[in-house]
Amino acid sequence: MNPTSSSSPASEQAEELFALLTLRLTPQLGPRRIENLRQRFGSARAALSMPLTELRHTPGLDAKSLAGIGTAKPAQQAEAELGKLEQGGVTLLGRGLPGYPAALDSLGDPPAVLWVLGPLPELPTVPRAVGVVGTRSASPHALALTRKIAADLARSDVIVISGLARGIDTAAHTASTEAGGLSIGILGSAVNMIYPQENTALASKLTLISEYPLGTGPATHHFPIRNRLIAALSAATLVVEGEWKSGSLITATHALECGRTVFAVPGLAGDPRAAGPHRLIRDGAVLTENVQDILNEMGWGQARTAPLPDLPPDQARVLAALNAPSTLDDLQARTGLGLPELQTALVMLQLQGLAEEVGGRWVRR
């Protein structure tokens, strides 16, 4: 419902939110144009009350973008959208209003409004959060490493942010929530239109953020756009696998533009999925093998990993050494065990569901 005039702060904020939503639903008005209006006139409310003669002097606005401002249809759509929000338990956050993430100030085109489903903590200019991104067709090794790093981030009170896509995104969200952490999914569709559908159950465990109205389905051009939100809402972005030209590289580029730190996991030489991380490492990204690499670079202290179960000495030593995907040679060097004792310990850990072999390397489950 369109708020009525009032001098109370709450009413003024409600009116401003309605005005921002109205502008967002006005054809030809993107984030930059809406922000130009807000900056020029002091608020979205003030912009909507201005005559065309004043509006036309706003930077970035042309005849097409001016045509819809102040017309009845966007306001009617905004009223209908607010009604849907109340029914679906979705929160709307507006630029310049309380609750809107300060972390998005690093963008040149922050959304005028955000649709949020689930609890959203304060996200300051540099939040304690890491964006984890990578290819949808990830290797088993990359998926295992993603799960390990995401779980360790969660245990270290770091928010894990990703895009709910198949592959690396799904592994990151799943592991961080299973470890008891907060994970945020940035969607290329509305928060009530989960894509892919097989991640519906997973999505219910996340906080979801979108810049698209309820009922908006996924579209190819939405995903590169949403990647800038992953980058801006995170203090750092970790790229696990991704081809030379991929959404992961787009996210990393946005992260650099926002002044964020980029981490990358090295992969197998010649594997197209390693091309993106290798390029980033050559360009100065932080080479990453485990969560401590991230925590050290960010100054976030020591990792809090899962407590080790009560195990026989050899098994406990091997499990403690599995702080990164490891070959038998790696584990022999770290544990000092002979090969027969090491292999026996690994088999016992595997039978207990504590370790597994993925792509020729052993990882902790």
Tell me the CATH number at 77.
Answer: 1.10.150
How many angstroms separate the Cα of 150 from the Cα of each of 156, 158, 187, 357? 10, 9, 19, 19
Q: Is the pLDDT of residue 353 over 90?
A: no
The whole-angstrom separation of Cα 56 and Cα 166 is 44
Q: Are residues 7 and 59 in the same domain?
A: yes
| Structure confidence at residue 7 (pLDDT) | 64
> Binning pLDDT at 50, 70 and 90, where does residue 241 land?
very high
Structural domains counted in the chain: 3
Q: Are residues 329 and 287 in the same domain?
A: no
| Domain end call among 32, 63, 86 | 86
Does some domain include residue 91? no
Better-scored residue on pLDDT, 332 or 87:
332
Say if residues 183 and 162 touch (Cβ distance below 8 Å): yes
Q: What is the mean pLDDT of residues 11-29?
A: 96
Q: Are residues 231 and 170 in the same domain?
A: yes
Q: Are residues 292 and 318 in the same domain?
A: no
DSSP run (H or E) holding 293: helix 291-298
Tell me the CATH number at 168.
Answer: 3.40.50.450
Q: Are residues 270 and 358 in the same domain?
A: no
The whole-angstrom separation of Cα 319 and Cα 307 is 11
Phi then psi for residue 269, to 5 deg, are -60, 130
Q: Counting beta carbons within 10 angstroms of the beta carbon of residue 130, is it exposed (0 to 12), middle (13 to 18) or buried (19 or more)? A: buried
Phi then psi for residue 182, to 5 deg, are -90, 130
Q: Are residues 188 and 43 in the same domain?
A: no
The whole-angstrom separation of Cα 198 and Cα 46 is 44
pLDDT digits (tens, 9 = 90+) for 107-133: 999 999 999 999 999 999 999 999 999
Lowest mean pLDDT among 197-211, 232-246, 349-363: 349-363
Q: Are residues 75 and 192 in the same domain?
A: no
| Structure confidence at residue 364 (pLDDT) | 82
CA dihedral 327, 333, 339, 345 (to 10 degrees): -80
Does some domain include residue 348? yes
Does some domain include residue 29? yes
Q: Counting beta carbons within 10 angstroms of the beta carbon of residue 256, is it exposed (0 to 12), middle (13 to 18) or buried (19 or more)? A: middle
| Structure confidence at residue 34 (pLDDT) | 97
Q: Is the pLDDT of residue 105 over 90?
A: yes
Better-scored residue on pLDDT, 2 or 352:
352
Ranges assigned E (strand) in 163-282: 183-186, 207-210, 236-239, 261-264
The whole-angstrom separation of Cα 77 and Cα 113 is 14
75, two tokens: 């306001």
> Binning pLDDT at 50, 70 and 90, where does residue 323 land?
confident
Does some domain include residue 111? no
Does some domain include residue 153? yes
List the domain range (segments joined by +) for residue 45. Answer: 1-86
Tell me the CATH number at 347.
Answer: 1.10.10.10
| Structure confidence at residue 23 (pLDDT) | 97
Q: Using the structure block, give the residue that is written with the tokens 């630029």.
A: 95
CA dihedral 296, 162, 240, 104 (to 10 degrees): -60
> Binning pLDDT at 50, 70 and 90, where does residue 20 land?
very high
Q: What is the mean pLDDT of residues 241-265?
A: 94
| Domain end call among 57, 86, 115 | 86
> Binning pLDDT at 50, 70 and 90, where does residue 359 land?
confident
Q: How many CB atoms lie within 10 A of CB 251?
A: 31
Q: Is the pLDDT of residue 6 over 60?
A: no
Beta-bridge mates of residue 113? 94
244, two tokens: 């030379």
The whole-angstrom separation of Cα 350 and Cα 71 is 65
The whole-angstrom separation of Cα 166 and Cα 169 is 6
Q: Are residues 73 and 172 in the same domain?
A: no
Nearest to 18 by CA among 97, 136, 121: 97
Q: Is the pLDDT of residue 217 over 50?
A: yes
Strands 361-364 and 355-358, sheet pairing: antiparallel
- Which are the contacts of 20, defined by CB distance < 8 A and separation ≥ 6? 34, 38, 44, 94, 95, 97, 112, 113
- What does R_g of the chain's alpha carbons equal in angstroms? 24
Does some domain include residue 284? yes
Does some domain include residue 108? no
pLDDT digits (tens, 9 = 90+) for 143-197: 999 999 999 999 999 999 999 999 999 999 999 999 999 999 999 999 999 999 9
Torsional sign, CA 323, 326, 330, 333:
positive
Q: Is the pLDDT of residue 4 over 70?
A: no
pLDDT digits (tens, 9 = 90+) for 267-306: 988 899 999 999 999 999 999 999 999 999 999 999 886 7
21, two tokens: 């939503």
Q: Are residues 141 and 286 in the same domain?
A: yes
Q: Are residues 50 and 163 in the same domain?
A: no
Q: Are residues 175 and 78 in the same domain?
A: no
| Structure confidence at residue 261 (pLDDT) | 98
Q: Using the structure block, give the residue that is written with the tokens 């963008």.
A: 107
Q: Are residues 259 and 333 in the same domain?
A: no
Does some domain include residue 121? no
pTM for the complete prediction?
0.86
